[in-house]
């Protein structure tokens, strides 16, 4: 199984600022995903990040709000831009390869004041 | 569109008793089914998956799940629950390969009482 780390593990941010979350994997993976888990809710896919191409965003999520980078096969970043309290969530990075299950990072707990 | 339903928000069970967490799914093609567990302040941990083959799949920590195509269900089971099994459980479905979207159910909180 892949080992995934995320930075920061948690942060408290002011309204209107931006936060970049980093995701590092210990092996090369084809597919990387970013999810959001709002308080008491299930996981919602934000976007799929493939190396060498633009991320594919799900309905309700846009690149201006959640820009994503995928510079290589082991690393990705998600930026939460112009934050509001509604962005307070856990953001999770996930990886998959082939037919295997997805593995998840420990998450980044974001609180926006 | 694919979807997952977990009809119970919470399941309470006494330690040592059998534990069942229900999941039904809807997908247009062949389903790839997964169970994950989330402990407080932790990420999701993979428990088990059904891709093809035997309908009864065994996973981590003594959990198992049975794929029932006619009932479109994939219930998670454990013969004897432990207090440490108390956590949030998510069922998920994907159609086909890892490039396709993984859709999660709403989650079921399991509380195992001593």
Which of B44, B94, B96 to mutate against chain A (most A CBs within 10 Å)? B44
Kindly determine whether residue A103 and residue B101, on different chains, have CB atoms separated by under 8 Å: no
- Nearest CB among B49, B98, B104 relative to A97 is that of B98
State mean pLDDT over B1-20.
95
- Nearest CB among B36, B43, B46 relative to A106 is that of B43
Is the predicted pLDDT of residue B96 greater than 90, yes or no?
Answer: no
- Nearest CB among A30, A42, A99 relative to B51 is that of A99
Which residue, chain included where needed, has tokens 């994950």? B36
Q: How close A43 comes to chain B (CA, Å)?
A: 6
Beta bridge partners of residue B87, listed in sequence order: B110
pLDDT at A102: 86
Average pLDDT of each block of 10 consecutive residues along chain A (113 residues)? 91 97 93 91 92 88 96 94 96 81 92 97
Out of A30-34, B3-7, B17-21, which region has the weakest mean confidence (pLDDT)? Answer: A30-34
């Amino acid at each position: 199984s892949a080992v995934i780390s995320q930075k920061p593990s948690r942060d408290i941010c002011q309204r209107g600022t931006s936060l970049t979350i980093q995701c590092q994997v210990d092996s090369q993976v084809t597919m990387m995903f970013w999810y959001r888990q709002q308080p008491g809710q299930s996981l919602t896919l934000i976007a799929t990040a493939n190396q060498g191409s633009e991320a594919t965003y799900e309905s309700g999520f846009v690149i201006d709000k959640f820009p994503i980078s995928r510079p290589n096969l082991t690393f990705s970043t998600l930026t939460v831009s112009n934050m509001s309290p509604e962005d307070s969530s856990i953001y999770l990075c996930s990886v998959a390869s082939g037919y295997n299950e997805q593995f998840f990072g420990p998450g980044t707990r974001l609180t926006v004041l | 569109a694919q979807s997952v339903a977990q009809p119970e928000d919470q399941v309470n069970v006494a330690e040592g008793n059998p534990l069942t967490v229900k999941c039904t799914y809807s997908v247009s093609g062949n389903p790839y089914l997964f169970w994950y567990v989330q402990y407080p302040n932790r990420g999701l941990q993979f428990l088990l998956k059904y891709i093809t083959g035997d309908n009864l799949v065994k996973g981590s920590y003594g959990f198992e799940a049975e794929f029932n195509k006619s009932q479109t269900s994939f219930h998670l089971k454990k013969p004897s629950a432990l207090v440490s099994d108390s956590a949030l459980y998510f069922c998920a479905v994907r159609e086909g390969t890892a490039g396709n979207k993984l859709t999660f159910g709403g989650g079921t909180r399991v509380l195992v009482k001593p």
